[in-house]
Amino acid sequence: MLLSACAASGSVAQDAPRPDWSASDMPSQVGRVFLVTGGTSGIGYESAKALAAAGAQVIIVARNAERGEAAIASIRNETPNASIRFESLDLADLASVHALSSRLNATLPRLDGLINNAGIMEPPQRDTSADGYEMQFAVNYLGHFALTAELLPLLRKSDAPRVVTLSSIAARRGTLHFDDLQFEQDYDPADAYQQSKLACLMFARELQRRSDAQGWGLQSIASHPGVSRTNLQVNNGFVRRSVMRFVLQPAARGALPTLYASTAPDARGGGYYGPTGMMELRGPLGFARVPEAATDAQAASRLWTLSEALSATRFPSRSDRMSASLPVVDRPSR
């Protein structure tokens, strides 16, 4: 997209977010339905809280039901009439993704916004998902890829659906290791995290391209929070955490790019939003820099095809209204 290319170079000043944009600038979200993955803490929690305060119906999904109920109670303490509920989801288990999607497709009238937020960062030892994939690749990227595919029918029932996928400044150093996507040969925690977040950014951009080509009617937008105080830093060592606390911004501030991408009338499909301060660690809202690797359309298409195979989940291949059909799901036994 022209916008994406221009946004990467910062040349579309007239379309740039207002630098001092805040949650108070969000338009009313009354009547709109959002799903936020990883909404029990950090960026996800702050996003869910702000959306609920703006009047949206919010579904928080995460693994831990106890933490989910605590998050809901906290949000209702600030917004007593908040329309918010919890649903169980383990992104490291594609059967759980399918189960949630089946429940929601059967019960929701539509979905106006999907925020692919949940993530893990740099576990020191390689671990695998229920489906046998490297854990960061599975949770940060592949689970969200499958969830988006399976919720596409609900999204297409909205008059203005948006999918917001969180990347990271770490994506700049990312490489897609097509010869070893699951890091079975030589696991490096940081390299695996960078790959997963580059994959998220490439997915957001490719989703917009395919939506435009197939007529799905989506706005697919990427965001990153800079460096914010969240549970992602749990695996960082003491020295690194001590240094980082001087540059970390509050999670509520880190959530602004996501909230802008989710709700602002001026947010554009194919865009990438984040802080614009030094190295995009923090600072005023604006266009984030798209790393060169994320602009490789051939690699993005290859990743998409591999992801459909790995998740056994299919996006529709032609433009239709999908009024009575779901994405094809043919899960291999394991």
Which amino acids are annotated catalytic?
193
Rounded Cα–Cα distance for residues 232 and 244 (Å): 12
Torsion of CA 237, 238, 242, 247, to 10 degrees: 20
Of 294, 117, 287, the C-alpha closest to 195 is 294
The amino acid sitting at 223 is: S
Rounded Cα–Cα distance for residues 78 and 86 (Å): 17
**E strands in 170-227:** 219-223
Integer angstrom CA distances of residue 127 from 92, 167, 184, 316? 11, 21, 10, 32
- Is residue 80 within 8 A of residue 48, CB to CB? The reply is no
φ, ψ dihedrals at 55, nearest 5°: 100, 0
- Is residue 33 within 8 A of residue 111, CB to CB? The reply is yes
Of 286, 280, 289, the C-alpha closest to 18 is 286
Give the DSSP H or E segment for 332: none
Question: Is 11 in a helix, a strand, or coil?
Answer: coil
Rounded Cα–Cα distance for residues 121 and 139 (Å): 10
Give the DSSP H or E segment for 202: helix 189-214
Q: Cβ of 11: how many Cβ atoms within 10 Å?
A: 11
